[in-house]
Amino acid sequence: MHLIIAEKNIAANRIAQILSGKDKVSAKKEGGVNVYTFGDKISIGLRGHVVEVDFVEGYTNWRSQERPPRSLIDAETIKRPTEPAIVKLIHKIAKKANRVTIATDFDTEGELIGKEAYELVRAVNPKVPIDRARFSAITKEEINRAFSEPSDLDFDLAAAGEARQVVDLIWGASLTRFISLAAKRGGGNILSVGRVQSPTLAMIVDREKEIESFIPEPYWEISLTTEKDGQSIIARHAEGRFTDKKLADAAYAGTKDPLVVTEVKEGKRVDRAPTPFDTTQFIVAAARIGYSAANAMRVAEELYMNGFISYPRTDNTIYPPSLNLDNILTTLEKTKFARDVAWVRKNRRTKPTEGKKSSTDHPPIHPTGVATEEQLGENWKLYELVVRRFLATLSPDAEWATMRIGMDATGQNYVATGSRLTEAGWRTVYPYSEAKDSILPVVKKGEKLKIQDLNLEEKQTQPPPRYSQSKLIQVMEELGLGTKSTRHEVIQKLISRKYIEGNPLRPTLVGKAVTESLEAHASTITRPDMTQKLEQAMEAIKVRNTSRDGVVDDSRKMLHQVFDELEPNEAVIGQEIMGQTDEELTIGPCPVCGKDLRIRRKGGSQFIGCNGYPDCTCNISLPGTMWGSAVRTKKVCEVHNLFHVSLIAKGARPWEMGCPLCQLIEQQKEHYAKMPAMTEALQQKLLDAKIFSLYELSKLEPAVLAKKLGITKKQAETLIHEANDVLDLIRRRSECKKFMKQFVPPKRGRSHTKVMNGFTESGINCIGDIASATIESLKKTGLSEEEAKTLKSEAISLIAKNQLKDIGIPAVSLKRYQEAGFLTPEDIASAHPAYLAFKTGISIETVGKHATLITQSLGKPDPVKISKKAFESGKIELTSLPGVGESTLEHLYRAGIFDKKSLISADPAKVAKSGGLSKDHLKKLQAAAVV
């Protein structure tokens, strides 16, 4: 009997189905484990590692005096079964086997899992032949090849995996136990430390420190707008950034007409096709379409196991000669990508693109099987990404025509740049990176243009960005932290340990506290050097340049050196961590129930909540963490016995907020002032009843509120109704402020809050109010005329966009209408369908449907209906007339002329007014049409 051992059940099933050929596969369960039998063969799947490395008995007591955390460094390790049912089944079947094939994944981890299975078999059948099947995809061709050309287990590769297992165990267990005990944390609240996760966390913490300590510096940029033949040209001052305001002012003042073209430089730019996917680049690309690193790898694993893509853990970016690319294209012809495949075959580059990394274990990630969107569901997006990347690597480079225009404005040099995609190349099949044309009109050297607009814009330097998951994985790869198989798992572990949060990633207070303490007392743990050295040593095991035991012994020596630094500072480390993560967050007794009030954070928000939650819902809002991290100060409120709170941001003075409850009460007074029925006496009654906020008031039942305040039910109903009205006003103002911040940058002496105060004084409380406000009234709030115009225009556009969405215009079409300048329902309803189709590129029949929806919603007559055939034949008729090019055609469509018949019957006076064509021009066209 031939026993086949795969890494997972799904792989065992697929291998059985492939190898069985025409034979039927019998599937049954033994001891809860799936067993697949065909002919004289049995295929079973593991669950990854079915045994784990652990310490011998006697090390489970964390508080043992005889065996402190340091003793774990030299503790003996053993292997324990983690899946006893699978282990028992392997023992049972292996006894009867006359051949065993290990068919686990071919990488370090897979080879170690294979070795673990090998040892389970050898324990009951010492003499049975054991071979190894290696494959990069679970497809018919690959599996048949792997089993017809078996090899031996690579014990050196497995030893490298074993060394990593042991090193990670002793480093993680000893350091985690030491730090957790020092900080008096236990149970589910331990503080995890690891040789890869700690340097990775330190990178995130160090980046956050850079951001916090960053002091922005002002700079100025000057741009101007001119035009040629009705087409705008935006040029920027050749100096780029001005760091001296006086020089910027002088350049701005010195920029005057005429604007003379001094240089016109045209060129070409080659846009290289992307290289094949390795694991890191796959994760980066997946992140751009919304996948976290862990989720991307989870889906990729599923696709691989089901035979749709090749093995997703690879460092290779060069297709090996053995990979039959033509066969892959033939396979893809059976999918919805058949048209793309045909294009690639027709335009295929002579040699596929290549990256810088090459390895011999697995090829780059590529498609291996036929799939449909219905079959894969949510996983389709990543399958499509892999398919399209593969096609792109076989496609020609894209090409851009570029133009650079140099201009002189009375001694001040300006530059405008433009580009136009001339050959789409690989972009035809890979739509994941935007290719936007920026077309400049034709100008000649010496030509004089008029300056239409001149802007001097003040900006500030920005701090370095936080790491996204994909960017962090790239940096980890560069620094040698972790492996292609584990980097995404390290990030996920940091998230699950609540050391980091958000996207992009930022450290939590506990993550920061642990890292800062380790950096201060044992920086070896937080630097990548140590991990790099161990990773290099484990790579050396694979080629027999060192041994597993030698690497483990060296790591133990390094860890003893770390403990030499840690142990004398145990008490200090514990105090530092506890001080930052516990005491600093407790501000005093809850005014409602008496339990502790603590500062809490979630993403970019922070608030003060009660430890008695959910029985007590008392909470106090705080400004977002962008304004600084909330910490308690030494001052205590004499009224409420609560510590004062301060917001700390590096590079800025602390924001002393005082007693948070006092501030909340004062803040609510402003809200209560907007309630006609609210009096000072009622406000005091609310405080006496421990109702501290408008929100709490709005959520009470009238009968409950009436009883608490000693008022009538009708009075209570009025208060609750008014409270909800004020909350709605606050919500609308909040949306208004969020919208305004997108287009109005803060300036010295003009914060966003100050602008909003100006809005309130002018009666502007929502985005709709901005849209209906005059430019003058907006300017009175502190905006420049340009800012006021932009803000009003964007508000009108947003409202119109929402109106059009509600009417039923699809998002894709809506974008085209807005890009073509049709911003409101009225704009579309008043335009002729032919003009709409011409300007937007949307088909005439679709435009007709959209226009009908809009006119019906506005109560206007339906637009004229034009069929696709009539529109296309009409265009041929018009363009066949002398002098009718794209420009004239646009004017005709604008006037509602879409064929000869409508041209002949048109009123020249009306056309001149609505279409912009002169009467004489139209009469000439009419005469030509009659002929």
Query: Which one-letter amino acid corresponds to residue 64?
Result: S
Residues 136/310, Cβ–Cβ less than 8 Å: yes
Sheet strands side by side (includes 643-648): 629-636, 643-648, 655-658
Helix (H) or strand (E) holding 647: strand 643-648
Q: To the nearest 10°, report the CA torsion of 910, 912, 917, 920.
A: 100
Contact criterion met (CB below 8 Å) for 671 and 683: no
DSSP character string of 749-766:
TB-HHHHHHHHHHTT--S
Contact 119, 147 (CB under 8 A): no
- Tell me the pairing of strands 398-409 and 412-423: antiparallel
Q: Which two tokens stand for residue 165?
A: 């297992």
From 118, 291, 311, 835, active-site residue: 311
DSSP secondary structure, 521-540, as one string: H-GGGTSHHHHHHHHHHHHH
CA distance 911 to 67: 96
Q: For the chain, give the longest Cα–Cα distance.
A: 110
Q: Are 19 and 6 in contact (CB under 8 A)?
A: no
DSSP 675: -
Q: Write out the E strands in 511-617.
A: 586-589, 596-602, 605-610
| Separation in Å, CA 512 to CA 188, 203, 270, 625 | 19, 11, 45, 15
Those residues whose C-beta lies under 8 Å from the C-beta of residue 541, and which sit 6 or more positions away, are: 156, 159, 160, 163, 547, 548, 551
- For residue 242, the SS3 value is strand
CA atoms of 452 and 544, how far apart (whole Å):
72
**Residue 867 DSSP label:** -
If residue 878 lies in a helix (H) or strand (E), which one and from where to where?
helix 868-879
Q: What is the DSSP letter of 563?
A: H
User: Strand 500-501 relative to strand 231-237: parallel, antiparallel, unpaired?
Assistant: unpaired
Note if the bond before 504 is cis, omega within 30 degrees: yes
Number of H helices, E strands in the chain: 37, 24
Tokens of 685: 């009654």
Residue 449, token pair as written in the block:
């243009």
Tokens at residue 763, please?
């009666």
Q: What share of the chain is helix, strand, coil (3-state, %, to 5)?
A: 50, 15, 35
430 among known catalytic residues? no
What 858-866 contacts at long range (C-beta under 8 Å, 24+ apart), as own/partner pairs, is 858/825, 858/826, 858/829, 860/829, 863/829, 863/832, 863/833, 864/832, 864/833, 864/896, 865/833, 866/833, 866/834, 866/898
Q: Mention every residue, 6+ apart, whose C-beta is less than 8 A from residue 297.
A: 279, 283, 312, 488
C-alpha 85 chain-centroid distance: 41
Active site (catalytic) residues: 311
